Copies of this chain bind each other. A is one copy, B any other.
Amino acid sequence: SRSIRLAVIPGDGIGKEVVAQGLKVLTAVLPQDVKLETQEYDLGARRWHATGETLPDAELESLKNHDAILLGAIGDPSVPSGVLERGLLLKLRFAFDHYVNLRPSKLFPNTATPLAGRPDIDFVVVREGTEGPYVGNGGSLRTGTPAEVATEVSLNTAYGVERVVRDAYARAAARPRKKLTLVHKNNVLVHAGHLWKNIFDQVGAEYPEVTTDYLHVDAATIFFVTQPERFDVIVTDNLFGDILTDLAAAVTGGIGLAASGNINPSGAFPSMFEPVHGSAPDIAGTGKADPTATVLSVALLLRHLGYEAEAARIETAVAEDLAERGGEVPRSTDEIGDALAARVSG
């Protein structure tokens, strides 16, 4: 009989609330014969305040024994900026070599977009997850003095760029429109930019059926608001991907719907699935958090583990739920979770 050994990191703020709904929907969608074993990890602001730990080695080791990780949200204003992000969230992405940071963007029916005319939006950003300005290769000299110098180094390797570019081409080739856009800033960041562009062009030769395009990141943000329907698959660097996917979430009805997967396609380490949104301490505990992004992240998780039918069922449930109820009075975190669980367990 089949089983899923799932690590759950609820994290901070609304993280716990949305993860509870994600698990509810996961339980509802799974076939009877699939055994779901969850193990919760107490990581995040509370743990750090209590013990000073962000991600102890023992926990990191233990996490390896799971098929996948479901994460809610990490971060709290009471913790100095960067401590949990670098010490926990990014540490997981780097330690588990999550080089494909997958972020689909779709404008569902009845969702409020700030864009006039409701363009047709349905693209996916493949954000590199293990290199670029995120590597943590920086420092500061004479810190806190008027003579301070602080650096941040963006590291990019052919090895790292090629594997994520290949993944993006494969995804583009599998979609009806077969279009792939590289976003970078190769007119200024010429070294990293040329590495990306050369590999993009080289790998492209193996995918003659995929139409390609290059945009500078600044120009890409313009098209995100004026012509988002032009995008199909986007591949980009870690930092540009961070920025673009928040913007993508905003134009597709908000960060409450944006799902993501931190994927290690080789399967050497567990992949991690999380909503793009943060811990939103301002609404934690109020029942106002929308768990849909987490539920959609569960769909990505299921697809990654080979449960394609179940993933699709969740996505359909979300689309139908929004189509029928999206324009209505706001529902609580629980109510949305219940509605989605009911739909998938049809």
Q: Does A110 lie at the interface of the complex (its beta carbon under 8 Å from any beta carbon of B)?
A: no
CA distance A155 to B141 in the complex (A): 11
The residues in A between 108 and 132 inclusive whose CB is less than 8 angstroms from any CB of B are 113-117
Which one of A20-28, A157-165, A265-273, A335-343 is at the interface?
A157-165
Query: In the complex, A156 Cα to B147 Cα: how many Å?
Result: 11
Contact B146 A159 (CB under 8 A): yes
- CB-defined contacts of A90 to chain B, threshold 8 Å: 188
How far apart are A300's CB and chain B's nearest CB, in angstroms?
20
11 new A-B contacts at CB < 8 Å, known A147-B158, A221-B246: A81-B186, A82-B186, A133-B154, A138-B191, A139-B191, A140-B191, A149-B158, A150-B195, A221-B247, A225-B225, A226-B250
Contact of A151 among B142, B162, B191 (CB under 8 A): B191
Q: Could you tell me if B243 and A225 are in contact, using CB atoms closer than 8 angstroms? A: no
> Would you call A43 an interface residue if the criterion is a C-beta within 8 Å of the partner chain's C-beta atoms?
no
Q: Is A194 at the interface (CB under 8 A from chain B)?
A: yes
Q: How far is the CB of A269 from chain B (nearest CB, A)?
A: 21
How close is A146's CB to chain B, nearest CB, in angstroms? Answer: 5
Answer yes or no: A50 CB below 8 A from chain B CBs: no
Q: In the bound complex, what is the Cα–Cα distance between A155 and B90 (angstroms)?
A: 22
Please list the residues of chain A having a beta carbon within 8 angstroms of any beta carbon in chain B: 75, 81-82, 85-86, 90, 113-117, 133-134, 138-140, 142-159, 162, 185-195, 197-198, 217-219, 221-222, 224-226, 239, 242-243, 245-247, 249-251, 254-255
A140 touches B189 (CB 8 A): no
**B219 in contact with A247 (CB, 8 Å):** no
Please state the number of chain copies in the assembly.
2
From B188, B198, B239, B242, A144 is in contact (CB under 8 Å) with: B198
B residues near A156, Cβ cutoff 8 Å: 149-152
Q: How far is the CA of A192 from the CA of B250 in the complex (A)?
A: 27
Residues of chain B within 8 A of A81, CB atoms compared: 186-187, 190, 193-194, 197
Evaluate contact between A192 and B151: CB separation under 8 angstroms.
Answer: yes
Contact B225–A242 (Cβ < 8 Å)? no
Residues B225 and A246 in contact, CB atoms below 8 Å apart: no
Candidates B151, B222, B242, B243; contact of A154 at CB < 8 Å = B151
Residue from the set A90, A147, A225 with the largest chain B CB neighbour count within 10 Å: A225
